[in-house]
């Protein structure tokens, strides 16, 4: 909750990846708030009892949303899907606007990696931006499980990461009305 709100303010991509990780952490704890308190909340040092209580309430609300949305086993919360949709809409607007030729160039440098990843995804054909996030999240999971990363994968992730960083930066500017309104 504390980390999530900080990430939301500063970097939408990091926030979205963090929230996907939180969804998986909740699933790993079988959507059980007592397990989450023991395994996660109680391990935070230097927070007040009020902050612990707020964290527990935050996790409980996420658990409730996951149950109501039927994503106990897999999938993403609607609030996270909405952020992804906003990023996709911004991406499309940036591509259409000739003022953002640098953004388009960055996207087209990334596109071969996206196409390759989509060709390997089987039946689940995500959009371009979601494919990038799936790749970044997959890399995070590989690092956490200490799996070997090939040089080709590292190269793809580096380009995808750079592209998503540019999109995130533009998202932040857009939220402050500094992207399309600047002359």
Percent of the chain at pLDDT > 90 equals 84
My answer on whether 91 and 64 are in the same domain is: no
pLDDT of residue 32: 98
* pTM, 2 dp: 0.93
Query: pLDDT digit string (tens) for 96-110?
Result: 999 999 999 999 999
User: Is residue 85 included in any domain, yes or no?
Assistant: yes
Taking each helix axis from N to C end, the angle separating 128-144 and 101-120, rounded to the nearest 10 degrees, works out to 70
My answer on whether 95 and 149 are in the same domain is: yes
User: Above 60 in pLDDT, residue 158?
Assistant: yes
Average pLDDT over residues 148-169: 96
Residue range of the domain that includes 55: 2-68
pLDDT of residue 77: 97
* Cα 20 off chain centre by: 6
The contacts of residue 117 (CB under 8 Å, 6+ apart) are: 131, 134, 135, 156
My answer on whether 84 and 170 are in the same domain is: yes
Residue of 89, 127, 82, 128 lying closest to 108 (CA atoms): 128
């Amino acid at each position: 909750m504390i980390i999530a709100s900080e990430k939301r303010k500063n970097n939408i991509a990091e926030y979205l990846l963090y929230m996907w990780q939180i969804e998986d952490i909740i699933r790993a704890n079988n959507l059980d708030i007592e397990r989450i308190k023991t395994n996660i909340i109680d391990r935070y040092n230097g927070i007040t009892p009020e902050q612990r209580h707020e964290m527990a309430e935050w996790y409980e609300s996420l658990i409730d949303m996951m149950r109501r949305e039927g994503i106990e086993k897999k999938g993403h919360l609607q609030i996270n899907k909405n952020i992804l949709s906003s990023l996709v809409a911004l991406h499309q607007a940036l591509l259409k606007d000739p003022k953002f030729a640098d953004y388009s160039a960055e996207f087209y440098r990334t596109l071969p990696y996206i196409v390759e990843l989509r060709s390997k995804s089987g039946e689940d054909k995500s959009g371009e931006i979601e494919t990038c996030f799936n790749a970044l999240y997959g890399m995070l999971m590989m690092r956490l499980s200490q799996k070997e990363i090939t040089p080709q994968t590292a190269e793809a992730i580096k380009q995808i990461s750079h592209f998503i960083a540019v999109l995130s930066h533009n998202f932040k500017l857009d939220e402050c009305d500094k992207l399309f309104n600047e002359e």
